[in-house]
Amino acid sequence: MSSSALPTLTSHQVKQVDALAQERFAISVDWLMEAAGWQVARLCSKGTAVVCGVGNNAGDGLAAARHLHRWGKLAGVFCLDPMRLRDAAEHEMKALRRIGIKVSTDLRLDGAEAVVDAIFGTGLSRRPEGAFATWIESINSSGLPVIAIDVPSGLDADTGFAYAPTVHAKSTVTLGLPKPGLLVGDGPRLAGEVWVVDIGVPFEAYAALGLHVPQDLFAHGDQVRLDSFR
């Protein structure tokens, strides 16, 4: 299968798909987030620290952290500002805390063997600033292998432009369908090995946006390397 047979999702289309999944197909964002976290956790090794921002990408990371904890692979969870989490992401934070996992706002990666980057997702359209930028720089300076969720934080998901700073990922787990920015501009250099993973979005939701997804996309497994389409 060629890469031209696999559509991409812009940041605007991601929002449309989420809305369609919930309103037309009765699949909540909570369910999609839970599936996303599970898929991310499956690609992590032992000693993984999860670093979260404040949006839905953070929620995906928190879901991943809960699975990593259950599998004995979690080295710590860090969130820039837990009070800013809303809706499904806030639910994931509550679920994590209910099992006794401490979430720190003080980023310390010493002792970790890998990092999940859940700071920014597809919604970023400007340069990271303040603590967001500091945490991205800390991840890069750690020298640890990074697994980014959807796109590396700091990368424009639509254009592939890398704002300063941008996470340098060893691998990227892109949810449902790849994002255009992973294929162009700075994306291929910063995203590392890209995995397209199934999170349960109905192909009918993509079709409603005029996107044709090959019915056999996940026929050989629910995690597929992007370069296998080229």
Residue count of the chain, please give it. 230
- CA nearest to 113, candidates 153, 82, 84, 74: 74
DSSP-derived letter for residue 92 is: H
Give the pTM.
Answer: 0.96
Mean pLDDT in consecutive groups of 10 residues from the start of the chain, 230 residues: 73 97 96 98 96 98 98 98 98 97 97 98 96 98 98 98 98 98 98 98 96 92 88
Residues 6+ positions from 86 with CB-CB distance below 8 Å: none
* Cβ–Cβ < 8 Å for 199, 176: yes
pLDDT for position 1: 42
User: How far is it, in rounded angstroms, from Cα 118 to Cα 207?
Assistant: 28
DSSP-derived letter for residue 103 is: E
Residues 6+ positions from 190 with CB-CB distance below 8 Å: 152, 155, 162, 166, 167, 168, 169
First-to-last CA distance in the chain? 7
pLDDT for position 214: 92
* Block residue for tokens 């996309």: 217
The domain ranges of the chain are 3-212
pLDDT for position 155: 98
User: How far is it, in rounded angstroms, from Cα 186 to Cα 215?
Assistant: 30
Between 3.40.50.10260, 3.60.21.10, 3.40.50.360, 3.30.1330.30, what CATH number should domain 3-212 receive? 3.40.50.10260
